Amino acid sequence: MQNLLQSRSKKIRDPAGREVEVLEDSQALKIAAESGCSVHDVYVEALDLGIYPYRYVRNRETISREEQLRLSNARVAVVGAGGLGGQVILLLARVGVGRIVVVDYDRFDETNLNRQALSSQRAMGKSKAQEAVMVVGAINPGVIVTPHQVRIDPSNAKEVLKGSDVIVDALDNIPARFTIENASKSMGIPLVHGALAGLEGQLMTVFPDDPGIKRLYGNSVADGERSKSPEAVLGVPALMPSFIATLQATEVLKIILKRGRLFRNVMVHVDLESGEMNEFTFGD
C-alpha cells in the first residue's frame, strides 16, 4: 500500500503557505478498494507515512500529524446517541477519531428533532445507533462506527465497552450513568460525564480511581421521580446539549492526546442564560 499511497498523494500548500503531502478521498477510496482494506486503514497508513488525508489539513497545527495518527488509532465508546451523544459522535468523527462505538437501544421520534444532531425527518423510526453509522459514513469514511442497539445494563456493559480508550456518558438517566461508571472503573477506562436540563449543564471527567459521579448524585443510584426531574420539567433545547457535547469531545481529545487540563474531580457547571461557566470542587 505504501507505493500506492506515495504515487497517488500530491503536494499542496495549506492556507498558511506550508507545503503538505495530501491524499484526497477519491484516491483513498480507490486504494481501499484495490487493497481490500478499509478507508480507516488507508488513513492510518497514510498518516504513518507523513501523508495527510486531505480532509485533515485544516486540523493542522492544532492537531499535529502524530496526534492525528493517534486519534485515528483510538476507539471511543459513546453511550447514548441523543442530544449529547449525537453531537459528540459528529465532533469525534470530524476531528478524526478512528473507531466509535455507539450504544443506544432507542429509535428516533419527532420529539428528538428539537435537539438530537443525528435525527432528521428521514430517520424517523430508525435505530439511533444504526443511524450513527449512516450519518458518520456520509461525513468521514475513515471512521469505523460499531453500533450496539441495546439498553446498557450491568449484564452487558463490560462486553459492549471493553477495548475503548475513553467512554462518553451521554445518557439521559442516572441509574444507567452509574452502570457505565462502574464498568469503566472496573476496566480501567476514563469516563467523560455530561448531563443537562434547560439552559444548564454539567461535566466531569472520571478516571478509574476518582470518586466520580457519586459527587454529583450521592450514593443512591435510584432515579427518583423522573417526571419531576429538572430535564423533564424544563425540557432540553438544542443549545445546551451542543455546548456540553463540545466540552465532552474536547475532554476525549485531551485524554487520548495527553494534552491540556482535564476536568477531573470537579463539576463544571454551565448556565447559558447568565453566560457563566463555573468550576466547583469537592472536599475529601
Residues that bind another protein (CB under 8 A): 80, 82-85, 170-174, 177, 194-198, 200-202, 215-218, 223-224, 228-234, 236, 241, 267, 269, 271, 273-275, 278-283
Compute the least distance from the CB of residue 168 to another protein, in Å: 10
Measured from the CB atom, the residue of 82 and 98 that comes closer to another protein is 82
Measured from the CB atom, the residue of 137 and 175 that comes closer to another protein is 175
Compute the least distance from the CB of residue 120 to another protein, in Å: 19
Compute the least distance from the CB of residue 84 to another protein, in Å: 5
Q: What angle, rounded to 10 degrees, do the helices at 65-72 and 39-48 form?
A: 150
Compute the least distance from the CB of residue 211 to another protein, in Å: 11
Residue type, 38: S
Instruction: Tell me phi and psi for residue 124, to 5 degrees.
Output: -55, 130
Compute the least distance from the CB of residue 147 to another protein, in Å: 18
Q: Which segments of the chain does DSSP mark as H helices, in order? A: 2-8, 25-35, 39-48, 65-72, 83-95, 128-139, 157-161, 174-187, 214-217, 230-234, 239-257
Compute the least distance from the CB of residue 91 to another protein, in Å: 15
Torsion of CA 282, 168, 97, 135, to 10 degrees: -140
Measured from the CB atom, the residue of 188 and 283 that comes closer to another protein is 283
Measured from the CB atom, the residue of 156 and 265 that comes closer to another protein is 265
The CB-side HSE value for 25 (13 A sphere, CA atoms) comes to 11
Measured from the CB atom, the residue of 163 and 218 that comes closer to another protein is 218
Closest residue by Cα to residue 41 from 1, 4, 6: 1
Compute the least distance from the CB of residue 104 to another protein, in Å: 10
* DSSP 3-state of 18: coil
* DSSP 3-state of 103: strand
Measured from the CB atom, the residue of 12 and 266 that comes closer to another protein is 266
What's the rounded Cα separation, in Å, for the pair 11 and 24?
11
Q: Is the distance from CB of 160 to CB of 152 less than 8 angstroms? A: yes
Measured from the CB atom, the residue of 83 and 98 that comes closer to another protein is 83
Q: Quick check: bond before 279 cis, omega within 30?
A: no
Compute the least distance from the CB of residue 40 to another protein, in Å: 28
Q: Is the distance from CB of 76 to CB of 93 less than 8 angstroms? A: no
> What is the end-to-end Cα distance of the chain in Å, rounded?
54
Measured from the CB atom, the residue of 147 and 194 that comes closer to another protein is 194
